[in-house]
Structure 1
């Protein structure tokens, strides 16, 4: 599923990145998705890719992944305080859910303002169910999914405990409300698997 999401982001980039475009990835992590985006768009001239993350270890890993001559740079920064240059594409791949809710609207406002007209935000998020019944179904399906991918019950529990107070996903409608308040009107779900959703938001 993670690999399919990366492939979809690369395919979507075809519609927004052209020669001399600027692309940001918010929460670049180890740089795996950024490396794929660079490779996918290598035939275009003058594109610049910038990966942002607030964890030094992630920036180090991402920098180590890039190849000499790649048009990509990585910056240790907090998107809450970072000013962005005008750009054609912003990717936030399971990142907004880790930003404190009190800052989330301001960050999305900033992303919208940075985009050129016709540019896009590709936003992937873990989403809550619309009510307790659906959330319970989602939790059980996600636990089964993780077990099917080789995780033990103890590993699943430990991961859940480690994310308490850190991972704070919103519902689909909650995310849409944030996006609309930021200024996005043209929004489409491009990926959906139980509690994971990808939105394409065009300015």
Structure 2
């Protein structure tokens, strides 16, 4: 996956993530602005264990759930990695992808990446990239919705309503794929996996200063849930089954079936 993305963005400027490498007098809350967009491929690869595997296999899983004449949604699409995977793996008649993000900087760069993908491959699913708030999106009938590390940035009191609206839009036999960073209800387990995640970041070249400042920037913005909270909320939204299919340290992905 990473090799493919490198090919697709070869002509687009990329930079290593050094956003928190220098001491900041005051660490601002994390936002998906142009500074983040410039370093996002490097940031996500070095921060989220298992990310390339999750992204590529969302495409594979989507191939099992996508229905003819339906929409596939990538909600919180960022630079479009999931959208690219959907287009590579789904070969169902008359499907199309709608990628949605509320960051104008992300949307602009996502369109560049998808244009690069179009130039390399033939007969890909058509895609529309929309700058919008997914909380106010009018969902079309859909057979596959991907929420890839997106729900954790939505206020907790708004999550059930969003998931309920997604469930109502899902066609029979479709699926929601939800990937999230996890909290753990057992304090010792939570501390262990949090420490291992920090070790993962160190192994990927982040300094103690970068780790600390990034944590300070994101702690009020990204609000993760436990696996149990996700399961209960998805069932409350009307899903019939919740199946974890991937976990690496404190990051996981679930399939929710209508």
TM-score of the superposed pair, with normalisation by structure 2: 0.75
Residues 4-83 of structure 1 mapped to structure 2, 5 A cutoff = 4-41=53-90, 43-67=91-115, 68=118, 71-83=126-138
State the match for 1:159 in structure 2: 214
Q: Which has the higher helix share?
A: 2
**Cα distance, 1:18 vs. partner?**
3.7
Deviations 1:126-159 (A, max 9, x none): 0101122221111101000111112111111111
1:101 aligns with 2:179: no
**Cα distance, 1:108 vs. partner?**
0.7
| Alpha-carbon distance between aligned partners in 2 of 1:155 and 1:188, rounded to the nearest angstrom | 34
1:131 aligns with 2:176: no
Structure 2 unaligned residues grouped into runs of 5+: 1-49, 119-123
Higher relative contact order (CA 8 A, sep 6+): 2
Deviates more, 1:153-162 or 1:60-69: 60-69
Deviations 1:33-75 (A, max 9, x none): 211211222x433211000111111111111111357500111
How many residue pairs are counted as aligned between the two chains?
202
Q: Any runs of at least 4 consecutive aligned residues in structure 1 with deviations exceeding 6 A, and if so which?
A: none
SS in 2 for 1:66: helix
State the match for 1:187 in structure 2: 242
CA RMSD of aligned residues (A): 1.3
| Alpha-carbon distance between aligned partners in 2 of 1:104 and 1:44, rounded to the nearest angstrom | 30
| Alpha-carbon distance between aligned partners in 1 of 2:203 and 2:184, rounded to the nearest angstrom | 22
Structure 1 unaligned residues grouped into runs of 5+: none
- Computing the radius of gyration from Cα coordinates, the structure with the larger value is 2
Deviations 1:92-137 (A, max 9, x none): 0011000000101111111111101111000001010112222111
TM-score of the superposed pair, with normalisation by structure 1: 0.95
